[in-house]
Amino acid sequence: MPQNKKENIKTQKELLNDFQDNWRNYAFQSLLATLSIFASLMFLNIHRHPIIIASIGASTFIIFAMPKSLTAQPKRLIGGHSVGIIIGSLSGLIHCINPFDQMFIYAIAVGFSIFLMVALDMEHPPAAGTALALSVNGFSFTAVLSVLIGVLILSLIKHLLKPALKDLF
């Protein structure tokens, strides 16, 4: 733990210097993120699956803002969302009359997906959102296909542009 809390907080001058030094990367990678999510949305039914779109949006942030992080690896991106799909779909099959019990099932879906992602070394935080979305909305072939297409597009773009991507923090 840092002795001084200010050690972890950048000063305004440091932030300005970082921006001046890296603004091209910020703009380039933000544009890539915009184009990537646009390409994904072209294949997705955003009106039927808004929660799933949110988890793909969070994955897009990780891929383009933190491309060198462990959670941005294709194995974790694809594997994590696959775990989320499986656990969310299975828990979506469980229907309870009591709303409290149903919310507990949703919570178990998130917790168990996290457990499996960690156990399988496929940690990707937005994938817990995929598990939650499918648990709440129930299994949907189009939702699953939407997630898979989204993560495959993100993985492909990251792979193709890997040399040009830098961590933005």
pLDDT the model gives residue 1: 44
| pLDDT tens sequence across 94-127 | 988 999 999 999 999 999 999 999 999 999 999 9
| pLDDT tens sequence across 1-32 | 445 555 557 787 777 777 777 788 889 999 99
Tell me the Ramachandran region of residue 156: left when phi exceeds 0, alpha when psi lies from -120 to 50, beta otherwise.
alpha
Mean pLDDT of 133-161: 89
User: Nearest to residue 130, comparing CAs of 35, 29, 116, 8?
Assistant: 116
Which residue type, as a one-letter code, is found at position 108?
I
Q: In the structure encoding, which two tokens stand for residue 114, read together?
A: 């996290």
Q: Is 161 exposed, middle or buried (0-12, 13-18, 19+ CB in 10 A)?
A: middle
Mean pLDDT of 136-163: 89
pLDDT the model gives residue 52: 74
| pLDDT tens sequence across 37-51 | 888 777 666 666 677
Query: What span, in angstroms and rounded, lies between the C-alpha atoms of 56 and 159?
Result: 17
Q: What mean pLDDT is reported for the chain?
A: 88
Percent of the chain with pLDDT over 70: 90
> Domain coordinates of the chain in residue numbers?
11-164
Q: In the structure encoding, which two tokens stand for residue 28, read together?
A: 């380039």
pTM of the model: 0.84
The set of residues, in sequence order, having a beta carbon less than 8 Å from that of 2 and lying 6+ positions away, is 8
Q: Do residues 31 and 168 touch, judged by C-beta distance below 8 A?
A: no
- Give the chain's count of helices (H) and strands (E): 6, 0
